[in-house]
Chain A
Amino acid sequence: MTPPLLEIDNLRTWFYTDSGVARSVDGVSMRVDAGETLGVVGESGCGKSVTALSILRLIRAPGRIEPGSAIRFEGKDLLTLAEADIRHVRGNRIAMVFQEPMTALNPVFTVGDQIAEVARIHTDMSRKEAAAKAVEMLRLVGIPDPERRATEYPHQLSGGMRQRIVIAMALVMNPALLIADEPTTALDVTIQAQILELLADLTRRLGTSILLITHDLGVVAENCTRVIVMYAGEVVEEATTSDLFRHAHHPYTEGLLGAMPRVGGHAERLATIPGTVPAPTNWPAGCRFRERCEYAWERCEQEHPPLYQIGEGHVSRCHLAVEPERRANRHVPIAAQVGAGAA
């Protein structure tokens, strides 16, 4: 078996704030294989973006990647690399695309110059070669009339175009891994479809692996081969996309799937998950989802669930894996009993 392209092992990224230690990422492990698109889903504050930033060591004080964490990429541990070496990885072997393209672009340079700059930093291309490369990249990401567009400034372009520019910039060095953090969240649905199609096409043509971070399960269903669900700084479920949608195991995943209104599905009432995500400075003991869970019992309070293997390539952080008969025993979650105030 070939080793995975990226392997994250027990990553813990903590933030030392005035109100306590926020354990935003708290023991996350995952792998991305060559050529695959891995989806990471979860709601705000689950730690998915901090995980992505940790891979490129973009965590700034008061944040810190705790000792004992490891991120292996192409045979190197990124966390122990010298600053000069990690800089060589960033933008070269691993590139990142963010949610809001306008903040990722410099308003006072033309988009052509900004793309060319990447090539100039990482190679010894001449100014002219780099400019030609920029036009080639614009063509690759499907921008019509690339020669003219290269001379324009970010504000002259629409949101969808800007996101294409950012993707073009990320792909200049033909990276092995593209981390896309909510790449389509700021875009309209018809433009989102264009961008997702572009990403899928790029993986086919260039063999780039993608780590796709999103809160939208629809985006995952259509684009990812495997999915990781995060909750409260941890991985709570990992499965192939079809397994996850057909046989979700963790009650949180079940809740997310139920809460999602779907075109074509006609539920009278949407399922909800009562309560809110706990604060990262104060994760509950035992299972972190316990108070919002319909199945929780004493064990969930006493014992922090490990990731149980429940099928091939399918793991879940829920004691139901070992006591499946408890599934019959649904009750109103604690967060809903407390009643008024939960939102």
Chain B
Amino acid sequence: MSTPLLSVRDLVKHFPIKSGIFGKVSGQVRAVDGISFDVNAAETLALVGESGCGKSTAGRAILRLIEPTSGSVSFDGHDVLTLGREELRRLRRKMQIIFQDPFSSLNPRMSIGAIVREGLTIHKLAEGAAADTRVRQLLDEVGLRPEYASRYPHEFSGGQRQRVGIARALSVEPSFIVCDEPVSALDVSVQAQVVNLLQDLQRDRGLAYLFIAHDLSVVEHIADRVAVMYLGHIVELAPVDMLFDMPIMPYTQALLSAVPAPEPGVKRERILLTGDVPSPANPPSGCVFHPRCQHPAKDEECARVVPPLEEKTPGHWAACIKQNAPDFFIPRSALHRSVPSPVNS
């Protein structure tokens, strides 16, 4: 197998908690607590999990938009975490990001043409008339009229602004884009347009995506592989079909069963997780999921032993000491796949 485009190893990001007037560090929020994964060229790896699980922090730490505490990130042969400022800036041409909120991620005082053009100027890719032409091409490519270049962000709808964000990321011809919840703020019909656009661009340009999301139905649609995060840890990682068909981790099973089925009459046996996600400032010992886990074999060992992320079946990694292959402690009918779909449009 060829070397992956991006390799993340034991990435850690802890935020200090400061207290008192002298700002004494009284604890650590363990937002990302040692995660490892690869992203191959032209592949989409989805990073899913609930709010506070550390998925966005992970995405930003990889690009060094926030400095990771420790670990290593290698991108296209470069060790990202040891690069100097100038080298990092050059490398960022190849690694871009699209943000969730298309309202706050565009400068309201810049025309969208200027927003898209900025990257071209900074990286000295084009100037003058050549840059204008390039901006118009980019807008056209993301489905915006080239003559919109002189308009300002407030004149656009959420979906259109997200297209501007995509054009801005594409302007420097990256090979890898972190998509941080790019469609979460959009209405369903517009969401579908943006998801299709991202897929078309990937096909045409061979882009690799780290697709950060909490909506599992979008993830199933767009991802090649999926990593599930919980409290700063990757608890399961598998090709998309495998993960949705045969989830191993009790947490993944609960997460999948919680997605409302858009089919009336299909009432799934839902694993209702009790309680809330614990605070990452004070994570549980052992397996971070054990206080909410409903696996019948759960015992005090789970509270003691930190489960390693192991390859349980080929390509399917999971961090659970009680479950080896998917032996379904919950009925499979609780998951969606096994129910034949009565609606097939």
Q: Does A217 contact B (CB under 8 A)?
A: yes
0/1 string, B76-106, CB within 8 A of A gives 1: 0000000000000000000000000000000
Please, how many angstroms separate the alpha-carbon atoms of A265 and B261 in the complex? 11
B78 to chain A, nearest CB (A): 35
Cβ of B266 to closest chain A Cβ, rounded Å: 8
Contacting residues of chain A (76-113) with chain B, CB-CB under 8 angstroms: none
The one of B50, B193, B199, B337 in contact with A188, judged by C-beta atoms closer than 8 angstroms, is B50
Binds B, one of A12-20, A128-136, A241-249, A298-306: A241-249
List the A residue with the shortest CB-CB distance to B216.
A263
Q: Is B265 on the interface with A (CB-CB < 8 A)?
A: yes
Interface residues of A in 113-133 (CB under 8 A from B): none
Interface residues on A, range: 35 or more
- Determine whether the beta carbon of A262 is less than 8 Å from that of B272: no
Q: Tell me whether B157 and A43 are in contact (CB under 8 A).
A: no
**Of all chain B residues, which has the CB nearest A224?**
B264
The reply to whether the CB of B214 lies closer than 8 angstroms to some CB of chain A is yes
Q: Which B residues are in CB contact (< 8 Å) with A216? A: 260
Binds A, one of B1-9, B127-135, B143-151: B143-151
Q: How long is the Cα–Cα vector from A191 to B52 in the complex, in angstroms?
A: 13
Query: Which one of B19-27, B36-44, B217-225, B312-320 contacts A?
Result: B217-225
A255 interfacial by beta-carbon distance below 8 Å: yes
Please encode chain A, from 250 to 275, with 1 for each CB lying within 8 Å of some chain B CB and 0 for all others: 00001111111111111101111110
- Contact A340 B146, beta carbon cutoff 8 Å: yes
A249 to chain B, nearest CB (A): 13
Given contacts A189-B216, A190-B50, A272-B196, contact A245 B270 (CB under 8 A): no
CA distance A244 to B266 in the complex (A): 14
Please choose the segment from B116-124, B250-258, B321-329 that sits at the chain A interface, where 4 or more of its residues have CB less than 8 A away: B250-258
Knowing A241-B264, A245-B343, A263-B216, the reply to whether A342 touches B143 (Cβ < 8 A) is yes
B-facing residues in A155-176 (Cβ within 8 Å) = 158-161
> B188, A341: Cβ atoms under 8 Å?
no
Chain A neighbourhood of B51, CB < 8 A: 159, 188
Cβ A341 vs Cβ B190 within 8 A: no
CA distance A215 to B146 in the complex (A): 32
Interface 9-residue window, one of A1-9, A50-58, A193-201, A309-317:
A193-201
Q: Are A197 and B261 in contact (CB under 8 A)?
A: no
Partner of A261, one of B220, B276, B277: B220
Mask: chain B, 275-297; 1 = CB below 8 Å from A; 0 = not: 11100000000000000000000
B67 within 8 A of A: no
Assess whether B221 is in contact with A343, with CB atoms less than 8 Å apart: no
* Assembly CA distance A343 to B196 (angstroms): 12
Chain B 165-193 interface mask (CB, 8 Å, partner A; 1/0): 00000000000000000000001111111
Chain B residues with Cβ below 8 Å from A270 are: 192, 195-196, 221
- Note all chain A residues with C-beta closer than 8 A to B157: 276, 343
Interface check A69, CB cutoff 8 A: no
Report whether B270 and A197 are in contact in the complex, using a CB–CB cutoff of 8 Å. Answer: yes
The answer to whether B261 touches A221, judged by C-beta atoms less than 8 angstroms apart, is yes
In Å, the complex CA distance between A115 and B143 comes to: 50
- Nearest CB of chain B from residue A201's CB, rounded to whole Å: 11
Whether the pair A264, B276 counts as a contact (CB closer than 8 A) is: no
Establish whether residues A261 and B217, one from each chain, have CB atoms under 8 Å apart when the complex forms: yes
A321 within 8 A of B: no
A276 and B143 CA atoms in complex are apart in Å by: 13
| Extra 8 A-B pairs, beta carbons < 8 Å, given A255-B189, A261-B218, A271-B192 | A197-B272, A218-B260, A221-B262, A242-B264, A245-B264, A262-B336, A270-B221, A273-B189
A-B residue pairs, 9 tightest by C-beta: A218-B260, A341-B145, A259-B192, A343-B160, A270-B192, A188-B50, A43-B187, A273-B189, A193-B258
Chain A residues close to B by CB (< 8 Å):
43-44, 144, 158-161, 188-194, 196-197, 215-219, 221-222, 241-242, 244-246, 254-267, 269-274, 276, 340-343
